[in-house]
Amino acid sequence: MMGGASMLGAIAFDPTIRGILIVVVAMVSLVGSIYMILATNTGARVAFLITSSGFFGWMVIMTIVWVIYGIGLVGRAPAWMPTDINLDRATPVPEVQQFADLPPTDKQEDPAEVLADFPLLQSLARGNEGKAYAPTSMTKLKTVIQPWVIASAESVAEVAAKAEATVPEDIAADPELAALYAAGGEKLSKEVNAQALELRDRIEKPLNGWCLLTESDPRRGEAVASADAALIAEKIFGDTTEPADYIVKDVYFFGGKAQCEPVDELPTATRAFNRVKSVFQVLNPKLYSAVTLVKVKDVVVEPGGTPPSATADPKAGEVTVVMLRNLGNKRFIPFTLFMISLMGFIIFTSILHYRDKQAMAIRDAFGGAGKGK
């Protein structure tokens, strides 16, 4: 008795029962009404064949749309699956051999020193981000200079105007830099594009094929959210682990179909070719992500006081969440329904076709019965 009550309690009216009722009423009122009209004109059997052919034909069209756009009755969506939570970057991850090629943060160059080697970009960055700007990570540095790789002359002119108004002393202290600002136009724009590309290459070269995502990259958000869920599930920072316990530093990608850099950097013809090539690439290369983070410093806040800004604990090591992209089966279910609907459409239309041929043969036989007399 209790088991039956539990089962009934698990069945929700909305959407379980309500959804079933909607489907039943729709089939009876829509398909049933069509069948009833056809039955009064062609008979029950022929009406059933015509109605079934029309229904499965409509299902074929609808499931094609489902497959193309990934809507309707879909399967499991793509998601990041945690492979390992690495508490020590010196420890290898057997499931992801490429992880060994990813250099730890303390082995990389200081981002502030790297930017200082490019006085033009440094003046632009300080002019637009503030005089006290100094990148604390390669991610922050790449986020700033990434748009300048393909920035137009108009965009560069706007950025340069802010720099001239904010840090004129930096420009005046370097004659070559002052000459570039004075020239402006295409000369300044091309120099900014070239130096931004050179700086980005310098950031990416030590990564051995791993792609460092900028803070504005839309792919970063999902990876960080999945890493948060893995850390909370494993209680890495205690039973009450939450995103406020750590600071996410860098997010790296490796593999997959998509290239690392934005597609708008490529010529239109190259983009079109890559799109076609991707369609015919049946097998998807494995895509890995590595989200690096560090624990924040524990602070005691007085009652009613304002907590300070989160700062990384200098004694804490870097934690890396390594994940593998599970492509899911989002379009598998609609594709299965498409195949079932296509077979149903072929079967019922074939029966109608052979029935019509048989009827025509019978009519021809009776039509010629009186000839020759």
Question: Would you place residue 349 in the very low, low, confident or very high pLDDT band (cuts 50, 70, 90)?
Answer: very high
Q: Is pLDDT of 219 > 60?
A: yes
Amino acid 150 reads I
pLDDT greater than 60 at residue 8: no
For residues 200, 205, 210 and 216, what is the CA-based torsion angle, rounded to 10 degrees? -10
User: How high does pLDDT run on average in the chain?
Assistant: 86
**Do residues 342 and 61 touch, judged by C-beta distance below 8 A?**
no
- 254 or 88, which is more confident: 254
**What is the DSSP track for 101-140?**
GS--GGGSPPHHHHHHT-HHHHHHHHHHH-TT---SSHHH
> Of 186, 187, 169, 183, which is closest to residue 122 (Cα–Cα)?
169
Model pLDDT for residues 270-285, shown as the tens digit of each residue: 777 777 777 777 778 8
pTM across the whole model: 0.78
In this prediction, residue 131 has a pLDDT band, given cuts at 50, 70 and 90, of: confident
pLDDT band for position 368 (cuts 50, 70, 90): low
Q: In what order do the strands lie in the sheet with 318-326?
A: 79-86, 318-326, 287-295, 246-255, 211-212
The arithmetic mean of pLDDT across residues 21-45, rounded, is 86
Going from N- to C-terminal start, the domains of the chain cover: 2-74+332-359, 78-102+208-301+308-327, 105-206
Range of weakest confidence among 26-30, 31-35, 44-48, 56-60: 26-30
Q: How far apart are CA 103 and CA 203, in angstroms?
A: 12
How many percent of the chain have pLDDT more than 70? 93
pLDDT (mean) for 51-77: 92
